[in-house]
Amino acid sequence: MTGVTGVTGMTGAAPRFQPQRVPVRLDSPPRIEGLGVGVHGTRSLRDVFRLPGLWQLHLYRYTAELTVDGVAYTVRPGYVSLVPPGVLVRYRYRGRSEHLYAHLRLPDRGAARTVPVVQNAGAQTALLSSLLLQAIAAVPRAPAQAVAEVWSALWRVAQLSVATGTGGGHPAVAAAIAYVESCLAEPLTVPDVARGAGVSHNHLTRLFRAETGDTVVAHIRHRRMERARHLLRETTLPIATIAASVGVADLQAFNKACRRELGASPRAIREGAPGPGA
């Protein structure tokens, strides 16, 4: 059985909960044994079970109490759990409860990535839901596509806790970074990003600077220009189209932003000017 680790430590007089983590190997695709929409809490408000040989991937659409190998969590809409084979789980529902699930066999070879058993998917919730729903729809007609969709979802889940590149950062910062990545083509303000991360504007500003050493605004600007650099060099898209695709509709403003962030004009970057950080 794959091991699950987790502790409840102390910081001063206040308990500090460390979520359980589990090693996951994703270098090869999973083998799907079950996939669908699960509905619980209609006949009983409690479930206790284990899957002796299968991993359980759940994306929740409800609030419930989940206990994994004796450690209790409150799951909410947008939370995801990845439970290894043979581990006892207990659910206490609050009524009709619907989630997306996949029951899997994962490879036992390849590089291991340590993943929290329960996480808040934050800004990745919509994408994870889309991947799993596409997988469910594909099973009857294109099983290989279903495997690809679930494999992609698993990689997303594995990377939720390392979206900042640290693996131990605040989940709101990871959610903010994911939100920015998904919305670079749109007008973005710090309050927008804070809402996407589920925290207040001021709290996100403090967390973001403490963790990254940068402001949210500077991060947005940097990510826009990095994407612009890629599109200018690797595609033949018109410069105006690239500007719009990174959320800068005004060509003059785009030109200035490229010079400031990338050290050259859009045309020069397209022609091969290296610029800083290239």
Element (H, E) at 172: helix 171-182
Residue 121 — pLDDT band, cuts 50, 70, 90? confident
Q: What is the pTM of this model?
A: 0.60
Q: Where are the alpha helices (DSSP H) in the chain?
A: 125-138, 143-159, 171-182, 190-197, 201-212, 216-234, 239-245, 251-262, 266-270
CATH 3.30.70.20 fits 18-162, yes or no: no
70: left (phi over 0), alpha (psi -120 to 50) or beta: left
Residue 204 — pLDDT band, cuts 50, 70, 90? very high
Residue 274 — pLDDT band, cuts 50, 70, 90? low
Residue 261 near residue 221, CB atoms below 8 Å: yes
Q: Which two tokens stand for residue 100?
A: 């997306």
Q: Which two tokens stand for residue 142?
A: 């294109």
pLDDT at position 211: 84
pLDDT at position 8: 33
In terms of DSSP bridges, do strands 55-60 and 112-116 run parallel, antiparallel, or are they unpaired?
unpaired
The Cα 174–Cα 160 span in angstroms is 7
Closest by CA position to 263, among listed 254, 246, 276:
276
Q: Which of 25-34, 107-116, 266-275 shows the highest mean pLDDT?
A: 25-34
What's domain 218-270's architecture? Orthogonal Bundle (1.10)
In the chain, what are the domain boundaries?
A: 18-162, 171-214, 218-270
